Amino acid sequence: MENIQKVDLTKVKPYGDTLNDGMVQMSFTLPVPYGDEAKEAARQLAAKMGFDDPAVVYAKDLGVGYTYFIVYGKCTHTVDYTAIEVPKVDMEFMDREEVEQYIEENIKRNVVIVGACTGTDAHTVGIDAIMNMKGFDGNFGLERYKGIEAINMGSQVPNEELIAKAIETKADAILVSQVVTQKDVHIANLTQLVEMLEAEGLRDKVILVCGGPRISHELAQELGYDAGFGAGSYANHVATFVVKQIVERNLI
């Protein structure tokens, strides 16, 4: 359905009731006790953020001197959507059957992929969605792929153990999932893994991929990884990248 009003993609702003009204809903918590003063503090803070006509539409006492707010306001700024360029894995992704056929025709052996949630990260939902046989959202995981030996080491795996397993199994690729990102702990952990692989002389011999809700392809490459996959990625995306990299880098 076409827009009744034509959108200017060089000046995009939030949409609420009418095009370009700039209406935004946001929520946050302040370390102040519930009351009229707290609501005014939230309103003033929203105004300082650059919102016109800010209004506190909901406030809840969280106890022990904290209050949660929902605030409405009008955003005055715009972005040029046509000028946005986001680095990402740029390739035509294959489905499971196509990946299996690609392995059979081009690699002619099992592809070994080792994955884990490393460091103190205990959240396995991401790595399980990619690796476990049942996969996620109707997309089977790597364990289901013919021609792929998927080894899921689970959570809270030290980088040393992940590298040792990769060496033991002669892994073609290492997958790292990072969900816990408070205080950028994932940055230090991901960086350490790259440094350890380089110290072992293994970095160029393995395909290194990371993923998680705050992982982008750009960030992954900045940290020394071959690719990064964020939310909305499935096993076939990772598998396509890995098998094509094996062939392109002549790691067969």
Q: pLDDT digits over 97-110, tens only?
A: 999 999 999 999 99
Closest CA to 176 of 154, 196, 198: 154
Catalytic positions, written as ranges: 134
Residue 121's pLDDT band (cuts 50, 70, 90): confident
Q: Do domains 1-84 and 96-248 have the same CATH topology?
A: no
Q: Which candidate, 241, 221, 107, 120, places its Cα nearest to that of 173?
A: 241
**pLDDT band, residue 154 (cuts 50/70/90):** very high
At residue 182 the predicted structure's pLDDT band, cuts being 50, 70 and 90, is low
**Choice among 57-71, 91-105, 118-132, 191-205 with the minimum mean pLDDT:** 118-132
- Distance separating the N- and C-terminal Cα atoms of the chain: 49
The two three-digit tokens of residue 193, written as one number: 């893994």
- Work out the number of other CB atoms within 10 angstroms of the CB of residue 70: 15
Pick 252 or 210 by higher pLDDT. 210
Q: Is 2's pLDDT higher than 70?
A: no
CB-based contacts of 231: which residues, under 8 Å, 6+ apart?
A: 213
Q: How confident is the model at residue 126 (pLDDT cuts 50, 70, 90)?
A: confident
Q: Would you say 210 and 178 are in contact if contact means Cβ atoms under 8 Å apart?
A: yes
- Side-chain-facing half-sphere of 173: CA atoms under 13 Å: 32
> Can you tell me whether residue 101 is helix, strand or coil?
helix
Residue pLDDT, tens place only, 45-69: 999 999 999 999 999 999 999 999 9
| Chosen CATH of 1-84 out of 3.30.30.60, 3.40.630.30, 3.60.21.10, 3.40.50.720 | 3.30.30.60
Of the listed ranges 106-115, 129-138, 151-160, the least confidently predicted one is: 129-138
Domain ranges of the chain: 1-84, 96-248
**Architecture of the structural domain at 96-248:** 3-Layer(aba) Sandwich (3.40)
β-bridge pairing 23-30 and 66-75: antiparallel
Picking from 5-14, 180-189, 197-206, 212-221, which range would have the lowest pLDDT averaged per residue? 180-189
- pLDDT of the residue at 194: 96
- Tokens linked to 183: 């205080």
Q: How many other C-beta atoms lie within 10 A of the C-beta of residue 149?
A: 16
